[in-house]
Amino acid sequence: MSTGRGTKPGSDAGGEPISGTAPISGAAPTPGAAPAPSAGTAPGAGAGVAAGPGVRSRRRTVPADRRAPGRSPRRPLARLLGVGQPPPEGGSTTAHDLAVRHRLLLTLSALLTLSLFLSYQGVHGDANPLRTSSAPAVLSLDTAQYALGQAQKAANSAAPTSDFQRQISVAVESLSAAAADDVGGTGGRQTLQTIAGLITVYAVKVQQSQLQPDGSALREAYLSYATSVLTEEHSGIQARLTALQRQQRHAVQQQTSFGPMMWLVWVVTLLLGLALAAALLETQLFLRRRFRRRFNRQLLGALVLLAGGVVTAVLFTVWTQQGMTDTRVLLDRSLTGRRIPEAGQDTASYLAHTGFRAAAAVWILIGGILLMTLAETGLRRHIADYRFRPR
């Protein structure tokens, strides 16, 4: 919007009144001769400075009412953002203000992008391992523990039964599944191999006992050896499995907890989001005042993108976190019998779509880049209008 009417195009918008010190500042650019930049707004137009090609040769004069009576002190925000000194006494502050906002928007966008990415990853980064590895591993260990208990019952029966072999097979397969889920890393793998070896020994000792006549000393002896392999304190199969279960449940708790650090990161992220939204709005108003533009489309787009992105990220996070919490509650105690497959189904439903939501993390980075691009393009032309160079 052209401001030149020879009056105070900026002052009515709360901006800097123009000086009217001809030829440019107060003069309305002749339509066609001096196309006003920024949709007809000369830089400094309010400042009334025509910056189009047609006015390059014109002597620029800064409006008087933009001149401070003394040298403006450099404001803290500008100092923080590394913006140069404000103009000397009487100089226009528009370019300086633009530079401050430009850098502020880019800095906030970068910080928010990084913060949102990290806080999002902090929650969703654990969702995939929980869904594909940790939760199934807990259930596998529960299955193995339960099967071994059933096997011991079968081993104590007077005559050999096929149930013993079946339960041993279930236990071994469950351990293989747990190993495939990478329970406890290297140490966990070693423990699982040890347990698998012990299960073999246990099965052999039970079979040896079952080959002896009922009531014989050898039968009792072999069964006692088998029982000690299974139940020995600290080093028996069950003790090792219990320790591994405890370790795995602890891993699940760590993956699903939303601790103080996570709260802090998310609060910081949301504050950064609010700050960026406020900065975008303020810049929008600033541009409206200074350049008489109702809207800056790029900045408006950035605001919409910001709001949509943050809301989506928060919603995704709430849904995923809720699923993870439900999973933790479900797996927090040892399960037996039919409860184990049921828990598997429940877990799958709780953690459904978490993979898709976790994969959305990359869109935070893309969105951040887009946000910065919008902020950059939204302000760039105004800044370019204010690029001065010596003649």
Partner 1 sequence: MSACPGGPVTAAPGPPSRSSRRLVRTVTVVASCLAVLAAAVVIGVRALGQEPTVTLLANWTADDESHFRKAVIEPFERKYHIHVDYQGSNAESQVLGADVEAGTPPDVVVLTGPGELAEYARQKHLVPLEGLVRGADFGTSWATPLADGHVYWFPLKADVKSIVWYPADVGEEQRRQAVEQPARWCVGMGSGATSGWPGTDWIEDILLQQSGPRVYEEWARGDLPWRSPQVRKAWTTWRDLVGADGDPGLVRRALKTPYGEASRPVAASPRGCTLEHQASFIRSKPPWKRVDGRYEPSARLLFGAPANQAWEVSGDLVALLHSTPQAERLIRYLASADAQRAWSVAESGFSVHTGAQPAPGSISPWQRSLAAVLLDKGAVHCFDASDAMPPSVRDAFAEATIEFLADSRHLDALLRSLDTLSDTPGLTWVPSVCDPRP
Position 305 contacts partner 1 (CB under 8 A)? no
Per-residue string for binding with partner 1, 65-84, x by CB under 8 A? -------------------x
Does 91 contact partner 1 by CB under 8 A? Answer: yes
Two tokens, residue 4: 């030149």
Footprint (CB under 8 A) of partner 1, residues 160-219: 186-187, 189-191, 193-194, 196-198, 200-201, 205, 216-218
**Candidate list 125, 308, 337, 341; residue touching partner 1; CB under 8 A:** 125
Region from 107-115, 137-145, 281-289, 341-349 binding partner 1, contact rule CB under 8 A: 107-115
- Measured between alpha carbons, how far is 203 from 205 in angstroms, rounded to an integer? 5
Query: Which residues, numbered 338-367, are part of the site for partner 1 (CB under 8 A)?
Result: 365
CB count in 10 Å sphere of residue 239: 14
Instruction: State the maximum Cα–Cα separation within the chain, in Å, rounded to a whole number.
Output: 120
Closest to 194 in 3D by CA, of 229, 167, 227: 229
To partner 1, the closest distance from the beta carbon of 352 in angstroms equals 25
Residue type, 121: Q
CA 151/CA 139 separation, integer angstroms: 18
Task: Cis check for the bond before 23: say yes or no (omega within 30 of 0).
Answer: yes
What is the Cβ-side half-sphere exposure of residue 65, based on CA atoms within 13 angstroms? 20
Q: How far is the CB of 335 from partner 1 (least distance, A)?
A: 27
| 93 counts as binding partner 1 under rule CB under 8 A | yes
Interface size with partner 1, residues (CB under 8 A): 75
Considering only 94-102, 247-255, 269-277, 345-353, which stretch makes contact with partner 1 by CB under 8 A?
A: 94-102
Q: What whole-number distance in Å separates Cα of residue 211 and Cα of residue 384?
A: 94
Q: Judged by CB under 8 A, which stretch of 42-50, 264-272, 310-318, 333-341 contacts partner 1? A: 42-50
Q: Strand, coil or helix: what is 250?
A: helix
245 Cβ partners below 8 Å, 6+ apart?
138, 141, 142, 145, 334
Q: Which is nearer to partner 1, 45 or 340 (CB)?
A: 45
* 57/345 with CB nearer partner 1: 57
Q: Residue 183 or residue 335: which is nearer to partner 1 going by CB?
A: 183
Chain CA centroid to CA 366, Å: 13
Considering the complex, state which of residue 252 and residue 335 has its C-beta at the smaller distance from partner 1.
252
Q: Are 130 and 182 in contact (CB under 8 A)?
A: no
Q: Is 86 a residue that touches partner 1 (CB under 8 A)? A: yes
222-261 residues in contact with partner 1 (CB under 8 A) are 224-225, 228-229, 232-235
If we measure between CA atoms, which residue out of 363, 379, 231 comes closest to residue 300?
Answer: 379
**Distance of closest approach, residue 308 Cβ to partner 1, in angstroms:** 19
The nearest distance, CB 381 to partner 1, in angstroms, is: 8
